Chains A and B, each alone.
Chain A
Amino acid sequence: MRQTLIFGFLCSFILLMGCEEEPENNGDSSSPGSDSLKSWAIPRDEVFDGGPGKDGIPALTEPEFISAEAADFLNDDELVIGFVVGDEARAYPHHILDWHEIINDRVGEVNIALTYCPLTGTGIGWNREIDGMVTTFGVSGLLYNSNLIPYDRKTNSNWSQMRLDCVNGELRGKEVETFPIVETTWLTWKEMYPNTKVVSRNTGHNRNYGRYPYGNYRTSHSYLIFPVSNEDDRLPNKERVLGIVQSGSVRVYTFSSFGDAVSVVNDELNGKQFVIVGNKEDNFMLSFINDKGDGSTFSFSAVQGQYPVVMTDDEGNLWDVSGRAVAGPRKDARLDVPPSFIGYWFSFAAFYPDLSIYGDS
Chain B
Amino acid sequence: MGYLNYILKYMVVALGLLVSGQFSGYSQTCCSGGVPLSGNIGFEGAASGTLQMEFSYDLNFLSTLKTGSEVFEDGTRQRITHSFLVKTGYSINRWFAVDALFSYVLQGRRILFNDQVDQVNTHGLGDAVVMAKFILSSISETGSEFQLGLGPKLPLGRTDLTNNYDITLNADMQPGSGSWDLITWAYYARQFVIRQTMVASVRVVGRFNGENRAYLGTQSYSFGNTVQFYLGIGDQVVWGNSILSPSLSLRYRYAAGDRINDQELDNTGGQWINLLPAVSWHLSPNSILHFVPEIPLYSNVGGTQLTPTFRMQVGFYHSFGIMKKRKSNTYQL
Bound CA–CA A28/B119 (angstroms): 7
Which B residues are in CB contact (< 8 Å) with A49?
Answer: 163, 167-170, 173
Q: Is the Cβ of B170 less than 8 Å from the Cβ of A38?
A: no
0/1 string, A174-216, CB within 8 A of B gives 1 = 0000000000000000000000000000000111100101110
Contact with A23, one of B55, B113, B162, B170 (Cβ below 8 angstroms): B162
CB pair B74 A205 closer than 8 Å: yes
How far does the alpha carbon of A320 sit from the alpha carbon of B302 in the complex, in Å?
Answer: 44
In the assembled complex, the Cα of A215 lies from the Cα of B169 at a distance in Å of 23
| Chain B residues in 8 Å Cβ range of A6 | 283, 287, 316
Contacts of A51 in B (CB 8 A): 170, 172
Contact A21 B164 (CB under 8 A): no
In the bound complex, what is the Cα–Cα distance between A24 and B77 (angstroms)?
Answer: 18
Chain A nearest Cβ from B258, distance in angstroms: 11
Within 8 A of B (CB), among A48-71: 48-56, 58
Over the window 92-132 of chain B, the binary record of Cβ atoms lying under 8 Å from chain A Cβ atoms (1 yes, 0 no) is 00000000000010100101011011111111110000000
Contact B164 A26 (CB under 8 A): yes
Determine the chain A residues whose CB is within 8 A of the CB of B175 once the complex forms.
21
The residue on A at minimum CB distance from B169 is A49
Contact in complex: B303, A213 (CB < 8 Å): yes
Q: Is B261 an interface residue (CB 8 A)?
A: yes
CA distance A355 to B73 in the complex (A): 45
B230 close to A (CB within 8 Å): no
Contact yes or no, B118 A21, CB < 8 A: no
Q: In the complex, which of the residues A23, A31, A54, A226 has the most CB atoms of chain B within 10 Å of its own CB atom?
A: A23
Q: Is the CB of B165 within 8 A of A23?
A: no
Q: How far is the CA of A21 from the CA of B156 in the complex (A)?
A: 12
Interface residues of A in 224-241 (CB under 8 A from B): 224-227
**In the assembled complex, which residues on chain B have CB atoms less than 8 Å from the CB atom of A50?**
170
Of chain A, the residue at the smallest CB distance from B260 is A225
Which residues of chain A come closer than 8 Å to B106, judged between CB atoms?
16
Q: How far is the CB of A53 from chain B (nearest CB, A)?
A: 5
Residue in A closest to B263 when the chains form the complex, CB atoms: A223
User: Contact between B70 and A227 (Cβ–Cβ < 8 Å)?
Assistant: no
Task: From B164, B217, B304, give the contact of A208 (CB < 8 A).
Answer: B304
Q: Whose C-beta in chain A lies nearest to the C-beta of B74? A: A206
A45 within 8 A of B: yes
A16: min CB distance to chain B, Å:
5
For residue B267, CB closer than 8 A to chain A, the reply is yes
A-side contacts of B243, CB under 8 Å: none
CB neighbours of A13 from chain B (8 A): 55, 84, 86, 104
Q: Is the CB of B170 within 8 A of A34?
A: no
CB of A214 within 8 A of CB of B119, answer: no
Interface residues on B, range: 35 or more
CB-based nearest A residue for B122: A23
Cα(A217)–Cα(B158), bound, Å: 29
The distance from the CB of A12 to the nearest CB of chain B, in whole angstroms, is 8
- Whether a CB of chain A sits under 8 angstroms from the CB of B72 is yes
The verdict on A44 contacting B166 (CB below 8 Å), with A17-B104, A56-B77, A227-B217 known, is yes
Which residues of the partner chain A approach B172 to less than 8 Å between Cβ atoms?
Answer: 51
| B-contacting residues, A122-179, CB 8 Å | 138, 142, 158, 168
Establish whether residues B266 and A53, one from each chain, have CB atoms under 8 Å apart when the complex forms: no
Q: In the complex, what residues of B have CB within 8 A of residue A296's CB?
A: none
Q: State which residues 159-193 of B face A: CB under 8 Å.
A: 161-170, 172-173, 175
**B303 near A206 (CB under 8 angstroms)?**
no
Q: Any chain B CB within 8 A of the CB of A292?
A: no
B residues 226-262 near A (Cβ < 8 Å) are 260-261
Is B219 on the interface with A (CB-CB < 8 A)?
yes
Which residues of B are at the interface with A, using a C-beta cutoff of 8 A? 55, 65, 67, 70, 72-74, 76-77, 84, 86, 104, 106, 109, 111, 113-114, 116-125, 158, 161-170, 172-173, 175, 216-219, 260-261, 263-267, 283, 287, 303-304, 316
17 pairs, CB–CB < 8 Å, chain A vs chain B? A6-B287, A9-B55, A13-B86, A16-B84, A17-B84, A17-B86, A22-B123, A22-B161, A37-B164, A38-B165, A38-B166, A49-B163, A205-B76, A215-B266, A215-B303, A220-B263, A224-B261
Using a CB–CB cutoff of 8 Å, the interface residues on chain A facing chain B are: 2, 6, 9-10, 12-13, 16-17, 19, 21-28, 31, 34, 37-38, 40, 44-45, 47-56, 58, 138, 142, 158, 168, 205-208, 211, 213-215, 217, 220, 222-227
